[in-house]
Chains A and B, each alone.
Chain A
Amino acid sequence: MQNSEILSGIKEHTLSNGLTVICLKKNSAPIVAVQVWYRTGSINERDGIRGISHFCEHLMFRGSQHVKPEEHARRINDIGGHCNAFTSEDVTAYINSVPCRYLDMVLELEADRMSSLLINETILEVERNVIIEEYHTYMNNPVAKAFLEFRNDFFNGHAYAISPLGRLEDIRAIIAADCREYYKQWYTPRNAVLVVVGDIDSEQQVFDGAEKHFGAIAQSAALPEASGGGIIPRPQGQRLIKHKVEFDVPLIIVGYPAPASKDSDALPLEIMQLIISQGETSRLHQRIVRDKSIAVMVGGMNHCLRLAGMSLFFAAFTPDISAQKVERAILEEINIIKQKGVSAAEIEKIKNSTLTSRVFELYSAEHICQRIGFCEIVEGDYKHWVRRLTELAQLDGNKLQEAANRYWNEADRLTLHLQPKRINPAVVGAGIFRRLFGRFLKTA
């Protein structure tokens, strides 16, 4: 099924209890991807229970009325499938991929944990220890730890400031009643989307299966809109954070505010980000890695969430180069693109690479399922994903430049310098010598 045919192939149905079911028939391999996306994540947390969304994600594998602890994962594994889950700021998603004849079994398992999760103190304590171990695994990586601190500063005052991992003191303090309350509020049919993609007989098979297993789950009251504290966060003035870490590669991260994922500026800013930072022909790579040779690696990404986002640029370099020099070079390229815009060839490049990524994405039922779920929940409509190629075709250079000028503003910039705790003087000396010698040769 090619991209142009997908929109007409996707079918949608809403059960009387509010559960949205979206499915797509794709018969190229005898497998089916089944995902349940809940509109909740760390955005819905408050002080004292930071991390509870992720905690509940773990508990969802620890048994429900008809399913024993870990039985969900075991039953999926035992038929050759795989399952997983993740919690982000805006969503919590449960992912299953199985041989297609087991579709009904997965629907039954997912419905059971949507309606009757068991939360008891014994399981909670064991799972708390597992989550604390997971927390420490992240925190034992100095770069991951520094980035968590960076986002904390970036989104200061907003729920997005705390990552979905949560706060250690809160994870230690969460009790079963907190989890029950959270589960009762957010794990409801009205707050979820079931997405099925793969080798199904017909869309009706999925809708009937959904009705059979999820149909009896009681309708819930309307949910409050997630506000994250009410403020759409923007960094307050240009700021710099410096950290010394047990890591030998100096790093710099430059961050600007980015629009919410469903904002009309999200796509143009994404294209600008790709032009400036994707691949070896990108502007940053050409100028900073190849021409000036002051960084070993540069990159960038927009992290667009439901209510706000971050537009990030990063570089890794050697200790003989100053962070300020790399930062200046990045800012210079950002200013050039803001002032002079982009070329038609650069836009064509991004169109081609986006089309290629889409075409290869379409081979995988799980990827399609994930894209539909994400767009439906975070962007408000799965059709955005399908139409992105058309929207991309309509973008011109002016719209891109305008978006960059709206978001990449000096006054809103937050920069992080990560400096190695231990610098080897020989490395610095050799680097300076190399640079002087290189310059001398060039002059000669």
Chain B
Amino acid sequence: MFRFPPLQEYLLSNGVRMIWVTDQEQPAISIAVQVPYGRFSDPKGKEGVSELTLGLLQKGIAGLTTEAFIQKFEYTGSSIWADIGDEHIAVGCKLLSQFAPSILPLFWEMITKPALSETELKRLKREMITGLQSERADPMTLGHKHFFAELFGNDHPAGRIHTIKSVKRIELADIRSFYETYFVPRESIVIVAGSFDLEFARRSWEGLFKAWARTSPANPSVAPAVRPVEKTTIRLVNKSDLTQVSLCVGHGAIGELHPDRNVCALANYILGGGNFSSRLMAHVRVDKGKTYGIGSQILSNSLCAAFLMSTSTKNEQLTDVLQSILKVYREFSENGVSADELEKAKQFAVGNLAFQLEGIGNICEKLLWLRHFKRENSYIEQFADMIMAIKPPVVNAAIRAHFSSQHFVISAVGKRAAIEKNLASFGDCTHVDFRSL
């Protein structure tokens, strides 16, 4: 059974959940701050605000130039990292313990008193737009974006993808408003992990975290589940120089808080999440050699989630590969999984936990994930027992309930002239240019 290293956890008077993890393995510290708001909180038509806010935060504090601020981190070898999801934003810093007295207060000032300057915003917007243009070179990235846009639609936060147009509309007032509304102490989590003296750390730094005061928070950014797919729709993304087509095929799925979540994760491992142990890989790559990579995943937030199977193949093999994917899915839906397959999936889930908890970085990440979903450490400590207790009938019932869609959303990125006719035989097909997002 896994046990977390020694940790102290409590609520500060301003609502911050404070977690201290002491681990003396290396002379290093990892600090992370997470708020329960992410891309879903972007204003409609200005998608990208959350990401730009996160970027702008890292450009300095009032009273210090951006150059001077960044210099203090880079010259001590300290690095700031950021992670943005649909329902959360996390910012952290990795540093050598010896630099903690100067770097931690500066990092904290960045969270609570960022400069948010107009000049830096202009620079960041250019950077983000160039990044979005660069993404168009990667067909699978395009495929994922169009899949989400098609599955969730423009009325759902998960379907609103940030685009060059939406980023251009964003102004400094939007950033300031996002920051003021969502970077608030209540419901936020602060973790300090690594090699430090706990008493010294609490005496020196806790006052900083306690002093973070702001107005009441907005409601956490949770979006509803998506409705079942009632008709197969295909979005063909035309990029005329491609010799391969990149496919995403899927439908909605259950969210992280659904009681069947772990059962579905095991089922997905067998269908397409388990690399060479999965049915999709065995059928489409190992037996037929029709692709380099194929897999399936459940991308989940609290309530809303998507299930998708993705692969790339030569244009002329499109029909064969798409038929194979649908055949594997339908056999899985109808016949479920065997006891042997389930046993292996359970062994993977349990055995893999050790890798997810190696080092303070991973431990921080796991604690943030647990607390975001209001879970205690016991969730991990009892994970193995929980997984091993799952039996085949339960998994097969979950497959019937959650993996038995008759219709799909499909995105296909490829050369329209070469693939449209074949694609149209699978459902209603519309086409867009690859620069359309």
Q: A31-B354, A129-B290, A130-B285 are in contact. Are A78 and B96 (CB under 8 A)?
A: no
Q: Which residue of chain A is the closest to B58 with respect to CB atoms?
A: A280
Question: Which A residues touch B67, using CB under 8 A?
Answer: 280-281, 286, 290
Q: B130 and A297: CB pair below 8 A?
A: yes
Q: A79 and B26: CB pair below 8 A?
A: no
Query: CA of A129 to CA of B123 in the docked complex: distance in angstroms?
Result: 45
Q: Which residue of chain B is the closest to A350 with respect to CB atoms?
A: B77
Question: Which B residues touch A349, using CB under 8 A?
Answer: 74-75, 77
Q: Tell me the minimal C-beta distance from B23 to chain A in angstroms.
A: 9
Q: B94 and A356: CB pair below 8 A?
A: yes
Give chain B's interface residue range (CB within 8 Å of chain A): 35 or more
Q: B289 and A246: CB pair below 8 A?
A: no
Query: CA of A372 to CA of B206 in the docked complex: distance in angstroms?
Result: 40
Q: Of the candidates A73, A79, A286, A290, which one forms a contact with B351 in the assembled complex, judged by CB atoms under 8 Å apart?
A: A79
Q: Of the candidates A61, A125, A280, A362, which one forms a contact with B70 in the assembled complex, judged by CB atoms under 8 Å apart?
A: A280
Q: Of the candidates B126, B348, B349, which one forms a contact with A318 in the assembled complex, judged by CB atoms under 8 Å apart?
A: B126
Chain A positions near chain B (C-beta within 8 angstroms): 1-2, 28-31, 61, 69-70, 73-74, 77-82, 97-99, 125-134, 136-137, 139-143, 246-249, 279-281, 286, 289-290, 293, 296-297, 316, 318, 345, 348-349, 351-357, 359-360, 362-365
Does B27 have its Cβ within 8 Å of any Cβ on chain A? yes
Binds A, one of B207-215, B224-232, B238-246, B328-336: B238-246
Question: Which A residues touch B96, using CB under 8 A?
Answer: 352, 355-356, 359
Please list 11 pairs of residues, one from A and one from B, whose beta carbons are closer than 8 Å in the complex, sorted by A's number: A29-B357, A77-B276, A80-B347, A80-B349, A125-B289, A126-B288, A129-B288, A143-B134, A247-B137, A249-B130, A281-B67
Q: B77 and A133: CB pair below 8 A?
A: no
Chain A CB within 10 Å, residue with most, of B25, B27, B127, B314: B25
Question: Which A residues touch B74, using CB under 8 A?
Answer: 279-281, 349, 353
Q: Which residue of chain B is the closest to A351 with respect to CB atoms?
A: B77
Top 4 A-B residue pairs of the complex, sorted by shortest distance between their CB atoms: A80-B351, A363-B359, A352-B77, A129-B289
Does B198 have its Cβ within 8 Å of any Cβ on chain A? no
Q: A78-B347, A352-B96, A353-B77 are in contact. Are A130 and B137 (CB under 8 A)?
A: no
**CB proximity to A under 8 Å, residues B237-268:** 239-244
Q: Which residue of chain A is the closest to B413 with respect to CB atoms?
A: A140
Q: Tell me the minimal C-beta distance from A122 to chain B in angstroms.
A: 10
Q: Tell me the minimal C-beta distance from B167 to chain A in angstroms.
A: 13
Does B312 have its Cβ within 8 Å of any Cβ on chain A? yes
Query: CA of A134 to CA of B289 in the docked complex: distance in angstroms?
Result: 11
Question: Which B residues touch A141, using CB under 8 A?
Answer: 137-139
Does B274 have its Cβ within 8 Å of any Cβ on chain A? yes
Question: Which B residues touch A131, using CB under 8 A?
Answer: 292
Q: B75 and A70: CB pair below 8 A?
A: no
Does B355 have its Cβ within 8 Å of any Cβ on chain A? yes
Question: Which B residues touch A137, using CB under 8 A?
Answer: 244, 292, 312
Q: Of the candidates A127, A297, A345, A364, which one forms a contact with B289 in the assembled complex, judged by CB atoms under 8 Å apart?
A: A127
Q: B25 and A28: CB pair below 8 A?
A: yes
**CB proximity to A under 8 Å, residues B338-371:** 344, 347-355, 357-361
Q: B276 and A70: CB pair below 8 A?
A: yes
Question: Which A residues touch B28, using CB under 8 A?
Answer: 356, 359-360
Q: A80-B353, A356-B79 are in contact. Are A142 and B241 (CB under 8 A)?
A: yes
Q: B348 and A248: CB pair below 8 A?
A: no
Chain B CB within 10 Å, residue with most, of A61, A249, A289, A355: A249
10 further A-B contacts with Cβ under 8 Å, apart from A354-B77, A356-B95, are A29-B357, A31-B358, A69-B286, A74-B277, A140-B244, A286-B67, A349-B74, A352-B75, A355-B96, A356-B79
Query: CA of A352 to CA of B67 in the docked complex: distance in angstroms?
Result: 18
Q: A80 and B358: CB pair below 8 A?
A: no
Does B14 have its Cβ within 8 Å of any Cβ on chain A? no
Q: Of the candidates A79, A132, A357, which one forms a contact with B348 in the assembled complex, judged by CB atoms under 8 Å apart?
A: A79
Q: Tell me the minimal C-beta distance from A155 to chain B in angstroms.
A: 24
Q: Tell me the minimal C-beta distance from A57 to chain B in angstroms.
A: 13
Question: Which B residues touch A31, using CB under 8 A?
Answer: 354-355, 358
Q: A128-B289, A136-B243 are in contact. Are A360 and B130 (CB under 8 A)?
A: no
Question: Which A residues touch B274, using CB under 8 A?
Answer: 77
Q: Of the candidates B138, B287, B292, which one forms a contact with A126 in the assembled complex, judged by CB atoms under 8 Å apart?
A: B287
Does B117 have its Cβ within 8 Å of any Cβ on chain A? no
Q: A140-B139, A352-B75 are in contact. Are A70 and B286 (CB under 8 A)?
A: yes
